[in-house]
Structures are given as structure tokens and as C-alpha cells.
Structure 1
Amino acid sequence: MSNILSIQSAVAFGHVGNSAAVFPLQRIGHEVWPVYTVNYSNHTGYGAWEGPIIPAADVAAVLRGIRDRDAFPLIDAALTGYQASPEIGDVIVDAVTEIKAANPDALYACDPVMGSATSGCFVPDAVPPMFREKVVPAADIITPNQFELGYLTERDVTDLDSTLAAVDAAREIGPSTVLVTSVNRPETPEDAIEMIAVDDNGKWIVRTPRIPAKRNGSGDVTAALFTGHYLRGRDAKDALAKTASSVYDLLRVTYEADATELKLVEAQDFYAEPRMQFSVEAL
């Protein structure tokens, strides 16, 4: 069991941010310490929501309280998702710096949420430079989708070669491990989608059937499960296989139920016991 500090948003209704990440991590056997950056009624995809953004100073105060319990040496990984402002980015990087000073083996896994191929970039203009210049250089693991990888590295990402070149560029910024989600290539069948994982030991790709529906929070679950599995053995290939299996079954269960929100609880056995039904190929 590892201790994971997860600094993300929270919603009361539905599953995004920490409301998507915490339970799957607990279900695969990790202790999770959630720190919230917003406390909303629901995710913003509904077009209306209630609740506060947590000021960066208040997030910093919560982290300071955790530190003052002499808990930073116990943290095995920090996990972050959507960051709405440079101020919260500064708080996160400062905390990661302190955690790594207290435990040099601790990892920082960053999901650099900026947008998607269908929606484009939906974060404030100051956020992408913040990721490039400050947050990603501090990370050990990043989990962008293919669009975010291109946006982060300021490269056109359209096929396998350009995607791998962008991964190399991202790794030069700082993180040694990169998971690329929502990978589409010209040769990929329309009814399939892929993920790529790269670390110091190799490059791997996995293909799964494409579920014909998008559900908010699936990226948060993916980043969480990949981080949780990677913590055990530092094996990107194994983490990729388990994550692909679990997330596919989560989306399948959600789609078959015709649910608008992820069936996070109903799919829990697929986190604890991934079916490993998809082959991971070396690149």
C-alpha cells in the first residue's frame, strides 16, 4: 500500500477530479489523501453549477497542515489534475518540492489538463505556459491526451512518429514517464482508440474498442489508475495494460447502463481485478 496525495477538484454529484480518482485508487489498495481545489455541485459540462473555487492560499494552508503533521515523508506520490491558474500551480510545485525533500523516492504525477481534439484548449491563456515552464519540469509522470501532448510541446501530433517525437520532447522537459491517452492515428480503425506509455525502459501501445460515448472524469480515472499501478514496480508496460483494461470496462459498464455519469462504483471489481484482455505491444 502507498500513500497518495491527490490535489484536484471535487463535485458532489457525479465523478470528476478527486471524485473520480480517489475511489479507484482505494479499490486497488492505496491510501489516498484528497485535497480539493474546487467544491462544486457538479462538473462544469452541465453548463451550470454551484459552489466555490478554493483559493490557492487555502489549498496551501491545507497542505501546510498535512506537512505539520510530519506526513510529507510518508507520501509516496502526489497526483494532480486540472489547474485553473498559475497561482494553484505555484502551490502544487512548492508542495511537491517539499514532499520530495522529505521523501526523495516520492513521485509527482501530473495530468496536464488543457483540452481535447474536439473541444480545443479550454483553460486560461496563462495555464499552458505554466505547465511547460514550471509544473511539467517538476513531474515524474505526465498523462496528457494526444491533443494536450501536442499543445504542451508546441508540435503537430498527427501520427505515430510525430506522437513519439512529442513524447521525447516532453520527457526532455522533465518527466521520465509519459502516458498518452486518446491516441488517434491514420491507420487506427474508427472503432478503436489507443494509449501509449513511454519510460526509460521502452515504448508501448495498447488498442481498445472505442466506446461511442464520452463521459467526464474518465481521464481522471485513467491518470489515477496508471499512477497507482506504476507505484508498484515502476513498470509502465504493466501499468498501461491494467489501466487500459479497467478504464475500458468502466466505460463499457457506463455505456451499457446509458448513464450520463461514470458508473464508478458499479465497475469497481474491474479496478481490483483487471481482465487484462488487451495486448500491449512494444514500439
Structure 2
Amino acid sequence: MSGILSIQSHVVYGKAGNSSAVFPLQRMGFDVWPIHTVQFSNHTQYEQGWTGRAFAAEDITELVSGIDNIGKLDQCLAVLSGYQGSAEQCEAVIDTVKRVKARNPEAIYTCDPVMGDPAKGCIVAPGVAEVLVSQLMPMADIIVPNQYELTQFTGLEINNLQDAITACQAALSKGPKLVVVKHLHSVSNDTFTMMMASEDGVWLAERPYLAFSKQPVGVGDLISALFTGKYLSSQNSRIAFEFCNNASYSVLEKTYQLNEWELQTIAAQDDIFFPRNKYKLKRIA
């Protein structure tokens, strides 16, 4: 039974981290093996706060060793990592990726390098960003940063479309085969913009903004999961990129229609598998 190992945060209520990523991947036909880096009652943007804790890095290693002991790591198709609660957890992810690839050289690693954003406040523990930039992102096959995280990785400020292209190409030179920028806020005020770069070129994906009173959390986790799943099934990065743009927008549309803050992935499950939106990619380099 092949599966995707997803190592990221989890919330009991709502959709963020594994709570955002696991069900869409299952709806796409994948078995998912979730390991939680933290378990919180709810995501951290609630005014009332949250409860829960981060797990020890040894917990990740122990669980991966258990899967290895029953001879299943060779059936791991991909490792997907998101929010890490400590620098030590990042080190455990590094060891996990190496172990999985030793068992299955065809497995891919997708790194969603969650570092936060100054506009939202610092939401990661000390040392996490440094390990992401120096080790996890360079070893990944696919990275899925936002604009701030791409700047942290490349050292390049992004103020316009050409800056974004240059930064993506610089990121490719550091190791990843695919760079999927899950949000470029400096490119357009009128549309939500994502970018994908590979050695074959650079593509732009756009969709309308929705006027949420409070922006949903977990959208980046959803995008990373959708791209990884579709890339595994299609082996085509452009198909995967167009799909994740349209499918994630379908979830957001349903969320907006229901006047909800938490992503409505269950209500939108049919539109995840068969997105009604058909926004096309634009090749720009």
C-alpha cells in the first residue's frame, strides 16, 4: 500500500497543516501517513488563543523507524513537510527524507518552508528558518514558499514580476527541481498570483481574490498537498500547477459561499477532484 508521509502541524478543530492537507490527498486517491509536529486545539489566528503543544523531534524519528521496521518505507511515494515546531524537528525531517530515499530512490520530497511572514508576526521557533534555508530547501525536489520565504531562501527582494522570475531561477540553482510560489503579493493587486519555475521555464497562475472578512488559514498547506498529489499522479508539473490553482480556488469559493473562516474541504470535495474553475497558466519565461 503506497503512501505519502506528511510531517506537519495538526489542529483538532479546523483546517491547517495536516488537517488541511490529508483529506484532499485522500480524495485524490492517495493513502496518507500523517506525523504531527505540533497538535493544537485550533490554528493560531484565533483571538481567544489556542491550547496544545509541540512534540519532541524524537517522536518523528521513532514513528518513521516504526514504519521502517515493518518494511513499508519502500512504498513511500513522497515526503511532504510543512510547519516544524523546532529546529530539532527539522533535523528529524532531514533524516527521514534520507531514509525514505534510501528505501525508495524514486520518492520525492516536497518542502513547504513555513517561516511565517512579518505581516502576520513571527510564528516559528528559533532556528527553524535557518535550517529550512540551509538544509531542507536545498535538498528538496519541490519547494513551495510564499514570497517572504522565497526571499529568505534567495536573499533577493521581490517587488515586481521580473524580480519574482529572478528569485525563482536563483532558487533552482540552489538544488530544488521545481519552485512553486504559493503567493506573490507584490506582482498584482487585482489577482491572486502564483508562480512555478523549472529548468523548462516559468509559468504564472492567477485567480480572483475573494473578499473574506478574515482570510482563511491553511491555504498554503492545501496548495502544497494538491500540487504534490497531482504531480505524483500526472508526472507533469504544468498539469499539477494548473490543477492546484483551480482546486484550491474551488475550496476557497465554497468557504466564501458558506460564510466560513475555516476551509471547507469536506463541502468542496467533489470540486477538489474535478475543479469547476479552468484558469489557464501563462508562460512568462
TM-score by length of 2: 0.94
Match for residue 210 of structure 2? 211
Partner of 1:87: 88
Deviation at 1:69, TM superposition (A): 1.1
1:157–1:163 Cα contact (<8 Å) kept: yes
Shift in Å, 1:137 = 1.7
**Following TM superposition, by how much is the alpha carbon of 1:2 offset from its aligned partner in structure 2, in angstroms?**
5.2
- Equivalenced residues, count: 281
Residue of structure 2 equivalent to 1:140 = 141
Shift of 1:67: 1.0
**How far apart, CA to CA, are the structure 2 residues paired with 1:263 and 1:141?**
26
2:281 partner letter: V
Give, in angstroms, the shift of residue 242 of structure 1.
Answer: 0.7
Partner of 1:278: 279
Q: Calculate the TM-score normalised by the size of structure 1.
A: 0.94
Contact 2:74 2:104 in 1 (8 A): yes
Q: Which residue in the other structure is 1:31 paired with? A: 31
Q: CA deviation at 1:89?
A: 0.5
For 1:87 and 1:96, the matched residues in 2 are separated by 14
- Cα deviation for residue 34 of structure 1 reads 0.6
1:170-217 deviation digits (Å, cap 9, x = unpaired): 11221110100211345x2x3311111112322111110011231011
| Alignment-mate amino acid for residue 110 of structure 1 | C
* TM alignment of 1:98-247, pairs within 5 A: 98-116=99-117, 118-119=119-120, 121-186=122-187, 188=188, 190-213=189-212, 214-247=215-248
Task: Give the whole-Å Cα distance in 2 for the aligned partners of 1:116 and 1:246.
Answer: 24
Aligned partner of 1:140: which letter?
A: D
SS of the equivalent of 1:196 reads strand
Match of 2:15 in 1: 15
Matched, 1:264 2:254: no
Confirm or deny: 8 A CA contact 2:112 2:144 kept in the other structure: yes
* 1:276 to partner: Cα distance: 4.5
Residues 194 and 204, structure 2, Cα contact 8 Å, conserved in 1: yes
CA contact (8 A) 2:21 2:225 kept: yes
What is the percentage of aligned positions where both structures have the same residue?
Answer: 38
Q: Name the stretch that deviates more: 117-126 or 84-93.
A: 117-126
Deviation at 1:275, TM superposition (A): 2.5
Relative to 1, partners in 2 of residues 1:116 and 1:234: Cα closer, same or farther, differing over 3 Å?
A: farther
Q: Kindly provide the amino acid, as one letter, of the partner of residue 86 in structure 1.
A: A
Shift of 1:272: 0.8
Q: CA deviation at 1:120?
A: 5.2
Structure 1 residue 123 displacement after superposition? 2.3
Structure 1 residue 13, shift from structure 2 partner: 0.5
CA contact (8 A) 1:132 1:173 kept: no
Measured on the aligned residues, the alpha-carbon RMSD in Å equals 1.6
Contact 1:242 1:276 in 2 (8 A): no
Show CA shifts across 1:82-134 (max 9, x none): 11221001000001001001111100001001123632553234222211111
Which residue of the partner structure matches residue 4 of structure 2?
Answer: 4
Separation in structure 2 between the aligned mates of residue 121 and residue 282 of structure 1, nearest angstrom: 34
Q: Give the Cα–Cα distance (whole angstroms) in 1 for the partners of residues 237 and 277 of structure 2.
A: 14
Whether the aligned pair in 2 keeps the contact of 1:198 and 1:236 (CA below 8 Å) is no
Deviation at 1:44, TM superposition (A): 1.4
